[in-house]
Amino acid sequence: MANPMEQLPEKIAELVHELAVLPFDDMHYERPVVEAFVLTNYVVWGIMALLLISTLFIIVANKQKRQLAIAGEGDVKALAPTSRLVGVLEAGVDFIRNMAIDVIGPKDGPRFVPLLGTFFFLILTSNMLGLLPGGKSIGGTIGGTVALALISWAVFVWVGFTKNGFMGYMKSLIPSGVRQMPLAARIGLGGYIFLLEFISTFFIRPLTLAVRLFANLYAGHIILGVFSAFVLLFMKQFSLANVAVGSISFAFLLIMYAFELFVAFIQAYVFTILTAVYIQSSVHASEH
């Protein structure tokens, strides 16, 4: 009878291969896909997440429109949620709107609610799909998180330039207090701070957005896979020791699964609020 621990490395290798970027129609592909323009498993699941959340919002919006049309434009009660789904989605939108106003400001915040809402609901929905057996989250691959981070980066940099002008945005990378110092301090300290802020704004911020989301989700999937492997390996060979280890592993699997549900929400929130913070810093760059 084979020792379950001897089979564990093989199961881990299978898990890592399962989490790799592979052609959607060939999950037994020997190596991760690095070629461009290949429809991969993560792309397919990302499209599914986008279609799912888009469909839900379209259904809810049309339902509310019909209800308002039947009740009349002046009937405020017609705007009340008619189901739990409508209530949950409206609460989510209100949550994003309040975040945008609190972080970016009441004047500019509402403009960015669609962008922030898209980030939040897309990442959250994709994370939830990634917890299904065989499911994939766009945050589970570095390519997916880099794509999201580049969109975020492009928006807050574009806002910085359009709101403050090229020179104004570049000047804002040096704190106003430093800009008022004597010439030598402005050149020495100001140049040093400018270099740090330039690297942070144009390189570090998108990098940390991408790596943070990917690392948390990928690590969570690895942990779930390891505990699942323990359950499968130890439960298939009956003995008191195997049943004990398998039962404990199953208990930890349930705990970690519940924790990953929490992480799915937290990571969507963190990515969204950091994007809002970066937009706020660009909108108010001239005040720095």
Q: What is the pLDDT of residues 109-127, one digit of tens each?
A: 999 999 999 999 999 999 9
Q: What is the pLDDT of residues 17-57, one digit of tens each?
A: 777 777 776 666 666 665 566 788 888 899 999 999 999 88
Question: 188 versus 273: which is more confidently predicted?
Answer: 273
Residue with tokens 């397919």: 44
Cβ atoms 178, 234 nearer than 8 A? no
Q: What is the pLDDT of residues 149-186, one digit of tens each?
A: 999 999 999 999 998 888 888 888 887 777 777 878 77
Residue 78: pLDDT above 60?
no
Q: Give residue limits of the domains in the chain.
A: 4-287
Cβ atoms 138, 148 nearer than 8 A? yes
How far, in Å, CA of 226 to CA of 12, rounded?
A: 7
Residue 89: pLDDT above 90?
no
Mean pLDDT of the chain: 84
Least confident of 10-14, 79-83, 234-238, 264-268: 79-83
User: What backbone phi and psi angles, to 5 degrees, belong to 9?
Assistant: -55, -35
Which pLDDT does position 265 carry in this prediction? 95
Which pLDDT does position 211 carry in this prediction? 95
Residue 68: pLDDT above 80?
no
Q: What is the pLDDT of residues 180-227, one digit of tens each?
A: 778 787 778 888 888 998 999 999 999 999 999 999 999 988 888 888
Cβ atoms 174, 194 nearer than 8 A? yes
Assign 3-class secondary structure to 222-282.
HHHHHHHHHHHHHHCCCCHHHHHHHHHHHHHHHHHHHHHHHHHHHHHHHHHHHHHHHHHHH
Average pLDDT, integer, range 2-29: 71
% of the chain residues with pLDDT over 90: 42
% of the chain residues with pLDDT over 70: 85
Q: Where do runs of H (alpha helix) occur along the chain?
A: 4-18, 41-71, 84-104, 113-130, 142-164, 166-171, 176-179, 183-199, 205-235, 240-283
Does the model's pTM come out above 0.85? Answer: yes
